[in-house]
Amino acid sequence: MHNPPGGLPGTIVPFPGRAPGQIAFTREELTRILDLYGRMVAAGQWRDYAMDFTREAAIFAAFVRSAERPQAQVEKRPALRNRQGMWALLGEHGQVLKRGHELAGVLAPIERRLVKAVED
């Protein structure tokens, strides 16, 4: 049997260049966020995005124009899991719009804005 580079079969090998202990989105979380992003792009609300991964947080930022501040940011901060929740939605000026333990609940204000944009 052939062993994959970096270990035995079934061994998780870190992504090259990713710092140890770096916070990241799971595949399911990123799928949920990118699905919403795609629908916001289709509605003409967003045009660009950026992601940042540090030891404290994973951040997804959505922009109307890439030269401006992000219109919205979704942050995952596991250190806050047992307090107000590890998920936060931040507005254009960095204000916390929603915080919670579940990603779906934190994305709800953007989902509502999307429904209004489609109805117009």
Q: How many domains does the chain have?
A: 1
Tell me the residue type at 57: A
Q: Considering the entire predicted model, what is its pTM?
A: 0.78
Residue 12 within any structural domain of the chain: no
Residue 11 within any structural domain of the chain: no
Question: Exposed (0-12), middle (13-18) or buried (19+): which is 107, by Cβ within 10 Å?
Answer: buried
Residue 81 within any structural domain of the chain: yes
Q: Which domain holds residue 59?
A: 27-102
d(CA 102, CA 89): 11
- What digits encode the pLDDT tens for the residues 33-88? 999 999 999 998 999 999 999 999 999 999 998 678 899 999 999 999 988 899 99
The better pLDDT of the pair 116, 111 is held by 111
Report residue 8's pLDDT band, with 50, 70 and 90 as the boundaries.
low
Q: What is the mean pLDDT of residues 28-37?
A: 96
d(CA 104, CA 120): 24
Residue 48 within any structural domain of the chain: yes
* Residue 21 in this model has a pLDDT that exceeds 70: yes
Question: Exposed (0-12), middle (13-18) or buried (19+): which is 105, by Cβ within 10 Å?
Answer: middle
Report residue 95's pLDDT band, with 50, 70 and 90 as the boundaries.
very high
Residue 69 within any structural domain of the chain: yes
Sheet containing strand 87-90, strands side by side: 48-53, 58-63, 72-76, 87-90, 96-100
Residue 108 within any structural domain of the chain: no
Residue 83 within any structural domain of the chain: yes
Report residue 1's pLDDT band, with 50, 70 and 90 as the boundaries.
very low
